[in-house]
Structure 1
């Protein structure tokens, strides 16, 4: 198996703002693993907030290439993705980089069997979950403009602790009947979360995501006790070990495969969350169709989905899973693996 890493800069259609940062370009690394005429693709968005830098991370990924080159598709067929990851020594890599390798190997494994990845897993084939479309934090007029320019059946609204948070939802509600998910991005206090939950429910909000800073477990315990809306963990649930900690203080968890290290740990997190009575959402970063097509394989295992990362791009270097604008449901291409295919020569800026 041969590994190559291709850096890309993904231009955004609009500036994307949260309480953590604002950006107009998202650097990303796309990993390609080649074996016996087949390519597996994975992605690691270089999110500045998590301290990731393209050249350094590219070097760390390329350092596993010699170990990978000693293996072939028969090793993947015999031992599966998890065993190959162990053999090439990925335990010390950043989870974003482990995720890129995990996804590329899953893509390759499914292509080897000639089937779409999700169809190789035990899933409810009739279960269909729509993805939301995210309206980033901005002045109210700008958020209204973005919502009106992109009709969608369900939206995630980014808020951040300002005095106008409720006014934002009221104003957006004037322009759509679609359900809202609200992501406070750790920007609220416990009192705000509790007091806002009632008016937000009346305005058609389905749940609140990560209202408090991760350290405020006492406040979160009060929120789950008194808020009238479900509350999902995001920053408080990044790895497998975090799932247990969310039981009793959250209604559910939002899993991001880049944060937990790939599809293998994500599916274990889903199973553990279900055993604890937690709802499950899968989210994304700002990433291309390579990453989104991988996350979309999880859809039948979820309650909610936020897989709009590629829709936020002005230009996508790949094609793959898309979403119906009327229903929000995934449209899977007739391709084995995750369905992701690079549209451009496998060489990004500096690649």
Structure 2
């Protein structure tokens, strides 16, 4: 098995702003695993909040390239276990794990959702994200992209007023993501006002380690709350189950599809809602997420929709939210 790594700078249609950062380009690592003339592709985007860059991920992987090349590839889960044993970060592991799953599906002539024995006749519609901006620009983004579900990024001193203004121009479902910017008091105060404005749930309103605050929110908040920054890896699911109504799994943060599948099973056993989110990936990463769709309650897989230019072909999301799965097997990815 041969591994190749390539860097891309993904240009965004608009400046993407959340409570803690803003950016116009997304740096990403694309990993290719090739075996018997077949290539599988995976992706992990860089992220300053978690201190992972293309160069740091590339350096990690390059240290074990000879071992990857000689690895007896079989099940993706076995390859994931091997990568974990080498001490790689979850971001670097994600790129390789997604490539391994894509390769496995292509070698076995099936898309991943079929290998997992799931049915794509029913799946949730992705939300479309509106980053923090002036109300005028947020409305312009919504007008540019009419969509049935919007995720609204908040974390300002005018959050409820922003949602009130947006609601006047749309009857879409709203989801609110404060990215750790609120306190428990703000969350409990804002929730009934936002519920009246048609908000479906709140995502990670408090800082990731504010468990005391989340205990208050769990008791008093009138909207469901989904964990994001508080739920990074498999070990976080059990604790989040005590404080949240659901979890948002990010493949890059947990280490790929292998742990994500286990996190989904664990969340289901605990009665939690399950969402999978993206981190502004190209169609490479988004196509991997799409394979999980039949297993999810909610999904945030709009990353490639936010780009000026994409780098791959794979899953296509139509204007009405319908997902077109490619005839290519695995994750269905082909680099352009």
- Give the TM-score normalised by the residue count of structure 2: 0.97
CA RMSD of superposed structures (Å): 1.3
Residues 69/17 of structure 1: CA separation in 2 closer, same or farther (3 Å cut) = same
Task: Verify the 8 A CA contact 1:61 1:97 in the aligned structure 2.
Answer: yes
C-alpha displacement at 1:235, in angstroms? 0.3
User: Does 2:15 align with 1:15?
Assistant: yes
User: Does 2:335 align with 1:342?
Assistant: yes
Aligned to 2:242, the other structure's residue is in SS state coil
Residues 91/254 of structure 1: CA separation in 2 closer, same or farther (3 Å cut) = farther
Task: Verify the 8 A CA contact 2:84 2:93 in the aligned structure 1.
Answer: no
Alignment of 1:98-177 (within 5 A): 98-160=93-155, 162-177=156-171
C-alpha displacement at 1:68, in angstroms? 1.7
User: Does 2:319 align with 1:329?
Assistant: no
Residues 198/154 of structure 1: CA separation in 2 closer, same or farther (3 Å cut) = same
C-alpha displacement at 1:218, in angstroms? 1.2
Residues 238/191 of structure 1: CA separation in 2 closer, same or farther (3 Å cut) = same
Task: Verify the 8 A CA contact 1:128 1:329 in the aligned structure 2.
Answer: no
User: Does 2:265 align with 1:268?
Assistant: no
C-alpha displacement at 1:212, in angstroms? 0.6
Residues 339/193 of structure 1: CA separation in 2 closer, same or farther (3 Å cut) = same
Aligned positions, number: 336
Deviating more after overlay: 42-51 vs 9-18? 42-51
The gaps in structure 1 that reach 5 residues or longer are 344-351
Alignment of 1:249-264 (within 5 A): 249-264=243-258
1:316 corresponds to:
310
Task: Verify the 8 A CA contact 1:129 1:329 in the aligned structure 2.
Answer: no
Residues 91/241 of structure 1: CA separation in 2 closer, same or farther (3 Å cut) = farther
Alignment of 1:191-202 (within 5 A): 191-202=185-196
Residues 142/222 of structure 1: CA separation in 2 closer, same or farther (3 Å cut) = same
Task: Verify the 8 A CA contact 2:43 2:284 in the aligned structure 1.
Answer: yes
Task: Verify the 8 A CA contact 1:129 1:302 in the aligned structure 2.
Answer: yes
Task: Verify the 8 A CA contact 1:3 1:62 in the aligned structure 2.
Answer: no
Instruction: Report Cα offsets for 1:81-137 as digits up to 9, x if no partner.
Output: 121233456541110110111100000000001111111103244321100000001
Instruction: Report Cα offsets for 1:258-298 as digits up to 9, x if no partner.
Output: 10001010010011011111101000001110011001111
C-alpha displacement at 1:239, in angstroms? 0.4
Residues 133/170 of structure 1: CA separation in 2 closer, same or farther (3 Å cut) = same
Could you tell me how far apart the structure 2 residues matched to 1:177 and 1:90 are? 49
Could you tell me how far apart the structure 1 residues matched to 2:53 and 2:272 are? 34
Task: Verify the 8 A CA contact 2:83 2:93 in the aligned structure 1.
Answer: no
Could you tell me how far apart the structure 1 residues matched to 2:209 and 2:82 are? 36
Aligned to 2:222, the other structure's residue is in SS state coil
Aligned to 2:148, the other structure's residue is in SS state coil
Task: Verify the 8 A CA contact 1:4 1:33 in the aligned structure 2.
Answer: yes
1:2 corresponds to:
2
C-alpha displacement at 1:319, in angstroms? 1.6
1:289 corresponds to:
283
Task: Verify the 8 A CA contact 2:77 2:258 in the aligned structure 1.
Answer: yes
Task: Verify the 8 A CA contact 1:321 1:333 in the aligned structure 2.
Answer: yes
Instruction: Report Cα offsets for 1:7-61 as digits up to 9, x if no partner.
Output: 0111111000011210001111100011111001001101122212222321221
1:66 corresponds to:
66
Could you tell me how far apart the structure 2 residues matched to 1:342 and 1:258 are? 19
C-alpha displacement at 1:324, in angstroms? 2.1
Alignment of 1:208-247 (within 5 A): 208-247=202-241
